[in-house]
A and B are shown apart, each in its own frame.
Chain A
Amino acid sequence: KNQVEQSPQSLIILEGKNCTLQCNYTVSPFSNLRWYKQDTGRGPVSLTIMTFSENTKSNGRYTATLDADTKQSSLHITASQLSDSASYICVVSAFRNNDMRFGAGTRLTVKP
């Protein structure tokens, strides 16, 4: 079983709407959690990185939350744009030997 589970696998929304992507993890001991955006045919690009003490972090229309007690994170996208169509990947790092675990991603499609 993957140590980082993302839901939903895919999501279709209309332009201008908001959406929330989920990430649950079992990686331990927890070091940090990152969200990446991956456009089709491109490499992932970092959106946010959160450590244990951070509950919320924003990057423009993207807001990530972290609940280290329940081992859950969410990525909220506000006022979606067509350019938000991409895969969003959750990555959780443990404090040992470069152990980073990648979720399978959520494929978001924004339609006009």
Chain B
Amino acid sequence: NAGVTQTPKFQVLKTGQSMTLQCAQDMNHEYMSWYRQDPGMGLRLIHYSVGAGITDQGEVPNGYNVSRSTTEDFPLRLLSAAPSQTSVYFCASSYSWTSGTTGELFFGEGSRLTVL
């Protein structure tokens, strides 16, 4: 199993450009999520999904869009990039989501995004 795969690993954008960060998992996990990691701060939840066709907002959803058409894929879209979106983005998945909390989270290797 490849686990959680994120692409691209590095990306540089100009302000106003759009792009999609890809995330795929091959563990048949119901739960998938996107986080951003900024220096001196903990990871913050952007969006999450508890199954195909079901998505919800996390702590910092503004400027990002997601969809979940299949169990395996959960892309994150930046509609109009801003310098404040410069960060490292992590996709994570979990085999369970019960009682409002997840089982063990499996993270991808991260995507480092710079917006000029």
Residues of A within 8 A of B (CB): 2, 4, 31-32, 34, 41-46, 49, 89, 93-105
Contacts and interface: CB of A to CB of B under 8 A. Distances in A.
Contacts of A32: 101
Contacts of B44: 102
20 contacts: A2-B41, A31-B99, A34-B105, A42-B109, A42-B110, A43-B4, A43-B90, A43-B110, A45-B107, A46-B104, A46-B105, A46-B106, A93-B102, A96-B100, A98-B48, A98-B56, A98-B97, A98-B101, A100-B45, A100-B101
A97 B40 CA distance: 25
Given A42-B110, A98-B97, 15 more contacts: A2-B41, A4-B42, A31-B99, A31-B101, A34-B105, A41-B110, A43-B107, A43-B110, A49-B104, A98-B45, A99-B100, A102-B35, A102-B43, A103-B42, A104-B40
Given A98-B48, A104-B40, A44 B107 contact: yes
Contacts of B101: 31-32, 93-95, 98-100
Q: Which of A43, A94, A96, A99 gathers most chain B CB within 10 Å?
A: A43
A102 B35 CA distance: 11
B26 to A, nearest CB: 16
Contacts of A41: 109-110
Contacts of A103: 42
A101 B42 contact: yes
Counting from the closest, the 9 A-B pairs by CB-CB distance are A102-B42, A43-B107, A102-B43, A93-B101, A31-B101, A44-B107, A104-B42, A46-B104, A43-B109
A107 to B, nearest CB: 11
A13 B60 CA distance: 36
A42 B41 CA distance: 16
B105 A95 contact: no
Contacts of B107: 43-45
Interface string B41-66: 11111001000000010100000000
